[in-house]
Structure 1
Amino acid sequence: MTSPQQPEPASGTPRHEPEPSTMAGLAEGYAAKAGLHRTHDGRVDVLRSAGGIQGIAESVLPGLVFLIAFTLTQDLTPSLVAALASAAVFTVVRLVQRRPLTQALAGVVGVGISAWLANTTGKAEDFYLPGFITNAAYILAMVISIAVKWPVAGLLFGFIRNEGIEWRKDPVRVKAYRLGTWIIVAVLGLRLVVQVPLYLMGTDGLAALATMRLIMGAPLYILGIWIAWLVTRPAPAADADQPSNPSPSAT
């Protein structure tokens, strides 16, 4: 009678268990789609995750151009046109560089929606209103992810660390990733706490609102991601690395 153990599949037959290289590729692809990137040694590349220098400029410049133009002209229409033009310039730059247009096009669409809303209401401060709505939506999504025990930080950082979703089997890791997600929620919440009162001040608070949007945009995002990454680091497997009978000279 033959043994119930199945023979190893031939080299051309797909295996049920993914190869380590496959998991590494999946981790890198998932992280990239989520906007996160990692360094060659497996750490999160915070600057690149924020879009790099060019990506940060793409997110910052249209709002800055709008503020400067409106401050100088006190005219909403040319200020909105200037902001849209600055966003469109980045799309052209990416075309020339033969780089993916996703981020630049998303920026143009975002600025376009903001410009349309401000032009419709006639209120310059409404240029920043869509950002509040997006921020609130992210907060809601992350709080829900924590409540259902699929914290966003785990989904992102777990793949960067090649943990996949195995971390969900470890209550300690789940708790760590919940804390990391709360840190990101705190960053997003802080934006609303600081900026919404300035928005409610109307044009009197416009300069301060625009300044806070710049300060609390990419720089604060980078800081929040970095802190969340640090607090979710797995504990070093000291027990597994040490011999069962350590020598007296071990420290």
Structure 2
Amino acid sequence: MTDSARPDEGDRVPLEPPSAADSVSAALGGAARRAGLDPSQHASTGAAVWAAMGGVRGILESVLPSLAFVVLFTLTNDPETRQGNLPLSLGVSVGLALVFTIARLIAKSPPSAAIGGLVATVAAALLALFTGRGQDNFVFGFFTNGAYGAAFLVSVLVGWPLIGLIAGYLVGEGTAWRRDKRKRRVYALLSLGWAGLFAARLIVQLPLYFAGDVTALGTLKIVMGLPLFAPMLAVTWLAVRALSPRREA
């Protein structure tokens, strides 16, 4: 290219690097979109929630391994030791998670969710086998709930609620929502609601863990999982859609 054909350096507009908030928003929003939360794809709240849960397969992947562990551990429970057949219960739970992962690989569908569930199930099973206590199969879940709950709470305290960051990316307004007092308030309340959900799981389940009541702990883990996640997600989706620009809705 000759010098006369080169663009004038003075005509170039330097691109400013995205702010940290924009980067976090893009990362969180991208993850939400990959999970099925896409305003451009789902016209109804039910469709969005169903997609986020992964449909029938996603629900089975989330529930069956834990359910199998609880049922088998309870059926084989020794009243004297208050412990069931731990190797059998854990083996079936891990086996189910492995079957779901293999099924996704065979179907050539995104295996990330199943692989993540398999890794978590195996890690929890190894810990329980090492300690010999059935309740330790749920320890990693406590850390996960604590981390998510703390993240949502801290985001509100610093004035950048996570729901706002996610919603801003999904509806294409970036961080402009922070200039709207109403949106900031709603996103903060929604984020506090999610923090409360994770905190409630810990408040209810931790006493059962320390009491060694594996059956009650496992049952409540399932009950406080998708049955609470789905309604909370539906409320969040409805609020975000109501606040989003009309062109996006």
Normalising by structure 1, what TM-score? 0.76
Q: CA RMSD in A?
A: 2.7
C-alpha distance after superposition, 1:148-186 (max 9, x if no partner) = 221111122222223222112222211111111011111
The count of residues paired between Structure 1 and Structure 2 equals 215
2:29 and 2:166 in contact (8 A); partners too: no
C-alpha distance after superposition, 1:116-152 (max 9, x if no partner) = 1111111101101110110001111111111222111
The Cα of 1:209 is off from its aligned counterpart by: 1.4
Once residues 223 and 30 of structure 2 are traced to their aligned partners in structure 1, the CA distance between those partners, rounded to angstroms, is 30
Aligned to 1:177: 187
Aligned to 1:58: 61
Instruction: Pick the aligned partner of 2:238 from 224, 230, 233.
Output: 230
Instruction: Pick the aligned partner of 2:71 from 68, 73, 82.
Output: 68
Instruction: Pick the aligned partner of 1:216 from 203, 224, 232.
Output: 224
Instruction: Pick the aligned partner of 2:132 from 109, 113, 122.
Output: 122
Aligned-residue identity in percent:
37
Alpha-carbon spacing, 1:30–1:201, altered in 2? closer, same or farther (3 Å): closer
C-alpha distance after superposition, 1:59-97 (max 9, x if no partner) = 111111111222233211121111110100001110121
C-alpha distance after superposition, 1:194-247 (max 9, x if no partner) = 211222220xx221211111111112111112223334532898xxxxxxxxxx
Aligned to 1:31: 32
Tell me which amino acid in the other structure corresponds to 2:33.
Answer: A
Specify every segment of 5 or more residues in structure 1 that has no aligned partner in the other structure, as ranges.
1-12, 17-25, 238-251
Which aligned pairs between 1:126-137 and structure 2 lie closer than 5 A?
126-137=136-147
Q: Which moved more, 1:159-168 or 1:53-62?
A: 159-168
Normalising by structure 2, what TM-score? 0.77
Aligned to 1:48: 51
1:142 and 1:181 in contact (8 A); partners too: yes
Which aligned pairs between 1:76-225 and structure 2 lie closer than 5 A?
76-202=86-212, 205-225=213-233
